[in-house]
Structure 1
């Protein structure tokens, strides 16, 4: 029976089923350093009571003879020929065959070279023989890098991060206090990394009275806290930090492999081989060389290599992903990623579908283009792409998403204080529109007023008109129609003044809708007719048809009311006769009943 252990129930259940399977004699746990591989293996080791067991830690890369002798002695065997490797291997397999046991070999990556092969031929011989011959004992390996010998084998568990809920549970168990949202945000930033959660919790207990809120109050840099400040015992190192763990992984890569990984880290979403190929070409292109065709299988092998080294994860949706924990570290260590972001923009530009769209997945590529332009500090281009999909996001109800992205833009425009750039107030207005759709009307009004003030200050009459429209729309949502009309009329005056016929036509139409709601039909009719006239002059057939539809509805409403009035007049005499007859009948009936 598997007992719950640090919320790793799924992992424990799977690995336990492999241990219980008589056909399985070798299994492995692979994952990023600090994910809890050794701790998980220790759980099975401590609960393995049926047979003998032995734990071999090879983190210091011991001589194979010392490794073999320690196992033989640990399993109550006799070392017959000290130092003779061939005899040691034979004796080791003999005792493992005669006395079925669990043999855990921890930190196997230290026995491997950069390519994933065994550094020592004696270790290679031992593990190859185990793989070829099979055994009655069980060999459990933990490693950061999956050995080439076992690539493609089953019964290897890729140990991932804690979920947000699991991470919050762990932080609470470690006595860290904070709101559920704040705890969840911290788990997300740490990417559910088991060791770092514990190290950060220890730091908070020591310096922040276990209060998560003190990170901000004490002015701590979150990146420095997570990657460098929080430290503790790991792998015989008493002051292990997350940055140290990640550097150990990166040091095992070649220069081109490292550059490929850095390039891939700019992708915010999971990526396939095609997207990875763009970054692979860039990582392998030497200055002065021309691009040569690269076979997809070459890129696939490199991706799988990084995956086997726990530096990429597999995504159910689309190929691979760079761990969230690794991305900020790589991007801070290698900050010059301009070319990579441009490559990502070119890639997404080549695959995004044109409208019409039906769901968020179909516009995700546009959001990624926005993100990469944002990372390049090309905020105007980022705003253009966001505006391109804004109407769809609004119609589909992605209000929170609109608020998030427009808020990001407003923040950076405020930081660079580029008030002469008309796109700054445009982003404020768009954020106001997003809050209006979300039903947060006070915030919407505030942002539209900020936009209005800036457009007036820089003399942007067109932007000023659209700020009035934004305010009018908010007051329409609030059903304060007189204020709505006043703002629309101010925008209309500006559009007429600057000769913006499209803006004028749209504003006439908006006024028509408002007057229609107020049952001021003659004014509504005049507005729709003005809008139709302008739309006809601009050749906007669709807008002309919409104006005609509204005029027909106005006319239809008058005709329907006239019809019902006439019908009532016609039917009134008949109804009166029926009513009189009914009264007479009831009177006669009452007289008869009295007699």
Structure 2
């Protein structure tokens, strides 16, 4: 994640420093005047430290936030940072990069990152945008990360000169001192302008009304028409693309009474677009959807089935063979809005819109084979030694993720335990809490008390909390590990549990219990 955040740090405008990695293009921007006016008013209000842009997937939340980020005339923010947290960005990574890019000292202890970031934001007029906040939440708006929760709670309560904007599908549990902007579709006239700019003809007003001005859907329909009928991209062509019943379905009370109109329309359009793809393109999308975050052509090739790989461009004994070039296919999928594209260090990277990713993963079904291929790919490029930064072990973190998705928790443990000493020595305790916490939760859920790795994970989790100074939590996890180790006769696990417990009691000043 750090590598991604660092990759596009830039100085784009005179006197305004922009960092992070927004991936939204504003090339066809239309409308949102009322929403921008509300945001401007809140950004100028010193009593509003936090602003949330809320809406279902594809309404343009990130686009609106990107407009604010890119427009230097909005607010007096001389430094701006964009953090996309949709793919498991750990708080310590985000906070560290913000502090570094804004020119502040990064504390040695992770426990000091929250107050350091708050103090940074209080010291000047900065803008911090956190995109896809819902990825950090569990059900009912509860936080999945104590560090993000601590930061947002502290920031809302204390505030400062800076502003924080979040985009999200759902609201988190937080104190009341912030403003919400519920985002819906474009106004009819703005939706018409967007379709016109995209080169679409026909009864534009009727269609925009039908789909409630849903921006992603308008873009998808436009790209579908242009790909199939470049010389006559007219809405009348939708019937020949399998969307002739769109009007009927979206006005059927039995359908829209159960599901949101925008969701029904999006699925219908995605289905129609999917049917126009080649088998190779479908296979490509389904298999790269196992990755989290951006992928390049090398990573895409790695997860393709062998049958699909044979259709790619090859040179054998000096003879050309009928093939497809993987990068060209990825770019074709960008044209159809299934993927977006960005250039990082002269390399092309591709990623899904969240709504599209959900759809493609649904179409893919069981992805066991693709996850295993992703594991093999990361193993082939993983750095074996000489680790200096967390970026050096990023492949092991991805291996952990894919084993976890396969519900192979023993192998996921092995992947992270391989670099556990490095994480400890370098002070990446928040990462250890997140990773071992996932394993502990799953093993507790399935009741796998005979597993030594369950005991080891409890100890590793407790030790990470010890480094964070949360000694009561250390005692809780180490006692659980001790009980399991004694039940299964795991002497090493018992010894480790007692050691960690002793250290925790020592730090609490309970020396007699520490000796025991």
Q: TM-score of the superposition, structure 2-length normalised? A: 0.51
Which residue does the alignment assign to 2:222? 108
Structure 1 distance, partners of 2:68, 2:481, is 56
Which residue does the alignment assign to 1:465? 495
- 1:60 deviates by 12
- From 285, 308, 323, the equivalent of 1:284 is 308
- 1:4 deviates by 3.5
- 1:40 deviates by 7.6
- 1:337 deviates by 1.1
- 1:443 deviates by 1.5
Structure 1 distance, partners of 2:330, 2:452, is 44
Which residue does the alignment assign to 2:24? none
Q: Is the 8 A contact 1:406 1:431 kept in 2?
A: yes
Which residue does the alignment assign to 1:162? none
Q: Is the 8 A contact 1:475 1:483 kept in 2?
A: yes
**Structure 2 residue 339 is the aligned partner of structure 1 residue 312:** yes
Q: Is the 8 A contact 1:428 1:447 kept in 2?
A: yes
**Structure 2 residue 293 is the aligned partner of structure 1 residue 266:** no
Which residue does the alignment assign to 1:526? none
- From 28, 43, 61, the equivalent of 2:190 is 43
Which residue does the alignment assign to 2:87? none
- 1:385 deviates by 1.4
- 1:329 deviates by 3.5
What SS does the aligned partner of 1:427 have? Answer: helix
- 1:266 deviates by 0.4
What SS does the aligned partner of 2:290 have? Answer: coil
- From 429, 434, 441, the equivalent of 1:411 is 441
**Structure 2 residue 306 is the aligned partner of structure 1 residue 244:** no
What SS does the aligned partner of 1:267 have? Answer: coil
Structure 2 distance, partners of 1:108, 1:355, is 49
Q: Is the 8 A contact 1:263 1:279 kept in 2?
A: yes
Structure 1 distance, partners of 2:206, 2:190, is 23
Which residue does the alignment assign to 2:405? 375
Change (3 A) 1:476 1:390: farther
Which residue does the alignment assign to 2:127? none
Structure 1 distance, partners of 2:315, 2:472, is 56
- 1:262 deviates by 0.7
Output aligned runs, 1:391-406, within 5 Å.
391-406=421-436
Q: Is the 8 A contact 1:280 1:299 kept in 2?
A: no
Q: Is the 8 A contact 2:396 2:415 kept in 1?
A: yes
- 1:306 deviates by 1.1
What SS does the aligned partner of 1:240 have? Answer: helix
Summarize deviations over 1:27-77 as a string: whole Å, max 9, x none. Answer: xxxxxxxxx998389339789xxxxxx994467999xxxxxxxxxxxxxxx
Output aligned runs, 1:329-408, within 5 Å.
329-408=359-438
Larger proportion of helix = 1
Q: Is the 8 A contact 1:259 1:283 kept in 2?
A: no
Which residue does the alignment assign to 2:466? 436
- 1:250 deviates by 2.1
**Structure 2 residue 260 is the aligned partner of structure 1 residue 231:** yes
Structure 1 distance, partners of 2:402, 2:504, is 32
Change (3 A) 1:285 1:275: closer
Structure 1 distance, partners of 2:462, 2:291, is 30
Change (3 A) 1:13 1:421: closer
Structure 2 distance, partners of 1:325, 1:423, is 36
- 1:386 deviates by 0.9
Instruction: Say which one has the larger Rg.
Output: 1
Q: Is the 8 A contact 1:56 1:106 kept in 2?
A: no
Which residue does the alignment assign to 1:560? none
- 1:13 deviates by 11
- 1:110 deviates by 5.2
Q: TM-score of the superposition, structure 1-length normalised? A: 0.45
Summarize deviations over 1:475-496 as a string: whole Å, max 9, x none. Answer: 233343443333xxxxxxxxxx
Change (3 A) 1:2 1:307: closer
Aligned residues, how many? Answer: 310
